[in-house]
Structure 1
Amino acid sequence: MSGMIDRFPSLPSTLPDLFGWVEAGIPGLHPAPGVHGIRIEESFTDGTYSLCAELPGIDPAKDVDISVTEGVLTLCAERTVETADKRHTEFRYGTFARAVRLPAGARGDEASAVYKDGVLTITVPVPEGSSATRTIPVRHT
């Protein structure tokens, strides 16, 4: 793509930021105006559910709120604008939020979180044998 930009120097200024456009989603379907999504990675290994979230440039002690309610993990963060004048920025400021349904049997009350190098990692234990399916016997009368 860099070759294309070299051949068409006006291309970046005439086309919208496609990555930002895709992140913004379809107009009218965004959960709340001014709220940005959070990019995440999920994994499940050895009875532990892990969610990693990209949150560079925040202070996790005061700018992050994590909660678990009825099997849904909700992550909210806020990044404020620095007061220095900027010629151009593609950074996103404001409120960021993401809600994720935890696996069946996850122990949200035992969740823990660690922030390192701009990535927040939340781990939630999920006991072996937890299943979303329950067999219900039928009695014949």
Structure 2
Amino acid sequence: MSGIRERWPGWPVLPDLFGWAEGGFPTAHGTPVLHGIRVEEHFKDGMYVLRAELPGIDPAKDVEITVAEGVLTVRAERTEESKEKHRTEFRYGTFARSVRLPVGAKGDEATAQYKDGVLTIAVPVPEEKAATRTIPVRTG
């Protein structure tokens, strides 16, 4: 990155293009922007596990997790503590992310835990054994 700053001295005053990609283009009317939440997902021991990066929030009052029609939605809000900062790259406002749960996931049995800025949601997904069926071929 230092090479970019050397070639373009005005770089620090240019908008954060990576921030635009993550949170959308800034609005002209100052309406709040809905930021995305970075997630990791995997399967482990019959569970669909979603880990969401949410540092600096109070999970008891600032996080809402819902499951509706096979879609898991995580919503969080981080409020700005002070307006006296000269520069900030922290993101404030509402954060949300929705993911489609795997087929057969039991969303009503989901559990959630928050530790070290990471929200971990586990949803049971029973392993379905597909029965083997022989199909007779008719002739004639």
For the aligned pair, the TM-score class normalised by the smaller chain equals: 0.7 to 0.9
Q: Is contact 1:78-1:96 (8 Å) kept?
A: yes
TM-score of the two chains, using structure 2 as the length reference: 0.80
Contiguous gaps of at least 5 residues in structure 2: 136-140
**Structure 2 residue 53 is the aligned partner of structure 1 residue 89:** no
Query: How many pairs are equivalent?
Result: 129
Letter in 1 for 2:17: L
TM-score of the two chains, using structure 1 as the length reference: 0.79
**Structure 2 residue 106 is the aligned partner of structure 1 residue 107:** yes
Structure with greater Cα Rg: 2
Q: Is contact 1:36-1:97 (8 Å) kept?
A: yes
Identity of aligned residues (%): 66
Q: Distance in 1 between matches of 2:129 and 2:70?
A: 13
- State the shift of 1:35 in Å: 1.3
Letter in 1 for 2:107: G
Aligned to 1:2: 2
Moved over 4 A (4+): none
Q: Is contact 1:65-1:75 (8 Å) kept?
A: yes
Q: Distance in 2 between matches of 1:2 and 1:105?
A: 49
Contiguous gaps of at least 5 residues in structure 1: 132-136
Q: 1:85 to 1:33 in 2, by over 3 A?
A: closer
